[in-house]
Amino acid sequence: MSNDRLMNSHAMAFPGPTFMQVPAGQVDDVVAGGFAIIGAPFGSAYTVPGIAPGAARAPHAIRSASARYHAFAGRYDFDLQGPFFDPAGVGLLDLGDCFGPVHDPSQHVAIIEETVRSAAVLSALPIVLGGDDSTPIPICAGLDAFTDIHVLQIDAHLDYRDNVDGHRCGYSSPMRRIREMSHVAKIVHVGARGIGSAHVSDHDDTLEAGNAIVTAREVVREGVGVALQHFPDGANVYISIDCDGFDPSVMPGTSVPLPGGLQFYDGVDMIRDLVSRCNLRGIGFAEHYPEFDNHNLTSVAITRLISNTIGATLSRRQTAKEAI
């Protein structure tokens, strides 16, 4: 598939800013070591439980909330404990939205995968703004230039069903599909609570496959260490965040908010730790439904997690350089 299938269409669809108002770009503009924002505004044509169509609006909502940061270069960032990077000066591009023919979902999935791969092979970090529950599949597929990927899945659910009504690549199934990919070594499910998509057999299957489950309760009571211990130093890592993994007081803009989720600093700490000692290869956010958000709180939280991801990456490089 040629890249001309990728349209930077968000400006037309819903006029608005790019992420942090960085330059809009095409896949060819991505630079090595850079960061590529990739919109995956797909919901479902139906209204079914768990994949309300509103997730299609998440990329626009996140970009809008992030826009004010474009002029913050050089300000002090208390999360990073140092100066905020210049969004437009660190190789951060916004590739727009992956957008295929309206009535052919299979093509947009292929476009996401290809776009992620194009960035990944350049050693640029793909940062994907979903989209519904199914977006992690093409994201992770596109990371196949790497091996032994460890997936940090922050989610209230396991998403480890084999299929839903016969469909294997839709909601509730992404983690099983990802586990089947040969370049994936392990999934660490973090934030599970209540009941959801996982059947008892799914629960057993994922453990049997060598994956790990860390419940939200364990994180709340014992800290993020219980999750981070599963990631060896130097591992290739893909972080897949479903908004319902966090507590509704942090990310209210999701389909069925469940009390008892992760707190904001839990997310910050896991990102910071993994970036500092592993190799982050991709990160994505799914299941953000702006219509349910509370004064953009979810969009702001996602923006700040992305900011932490980029800042931590830059900081690690700086440390590496200084070490020489």
Q: Which of residues 214-273 bind a copy of itself (CB under 8 A)?
A: 215-217, 220-221, 247-250, 252, 256-260, 263-265, 268
| Using rule CB under 8 A, residue 93 touches a copy of itself | no
> 105, 144, 212, 315: which one contacts a copy of itself (CB under 8 A)?
105
Task: Kindly state whether residue 34 participates in binding a copy of itself, applying the rule CB under 8 A.
Answer: no
Question: Shortest approach of a copy of itself to residue 243 CB, angstroms?
Answer: 12
DSSP state of 135: T
Interatomic CA distance for residues 193 and 190, integer angstroms? 9
Q: CB 27: neighbour CB atoms within 10 A? A: 20
**301 phi and psi angles, rounded to 5 deg:** -60, -40
Asked whether position 117 contacts a copy of itself by CB under 8 A, the answer is: no
Q: Is 300 in the site for a copy of itself (CB under 8 A)?
A: yes
In the bound complex, what is the minimum distance in angstroms from residue 115's beta carbon to a copy of itself? 16
Binders of a copy of itself among 145-174, rule CB under 8 A?
A: 158, 164-167, 169-171
Question: Of 36-55, which residues contact a copy of itself (CB under 8 A)?
Answer: 41-49, 51, 53-54
Determine, following the binding rule CB under 8 A, whether residue 14 of this chain makes contact with a copy of itself: yes
Other beta carbons less than 10 A from residue 77's beta carbon: 17
Q: Is 254 exposed, middle or buried (0-12, 13-18, 19+ CB in 10 A)?
A: buried
Residue closer to a copy of itself by CB (options 108, 186) is 108
**Residue 75 and residue 82 in contact, taking contact as beta carbons nearer than 8 Å:** no
Verify binding: residue 89, a copy of itself, rule CB under 8 A: no
Integer angstrom CA distances of residue 14 from 58, 63, 96, 187, 303? 12, 11, 11, 35, 19
CA angle 206, 212, 216 (to 5 degrees): 110
Number of residues near a copy of itself (by CB under 8 A): 95
Structure tokens at 215: 């419940």
- Near a copy of itself by CB under 8 A, which window of 79-87, 137-145, 234-242, 312-320? 79-87
In the complex with a copy of itself, the residue whose CB is nearer, 59 or 281, is: 59
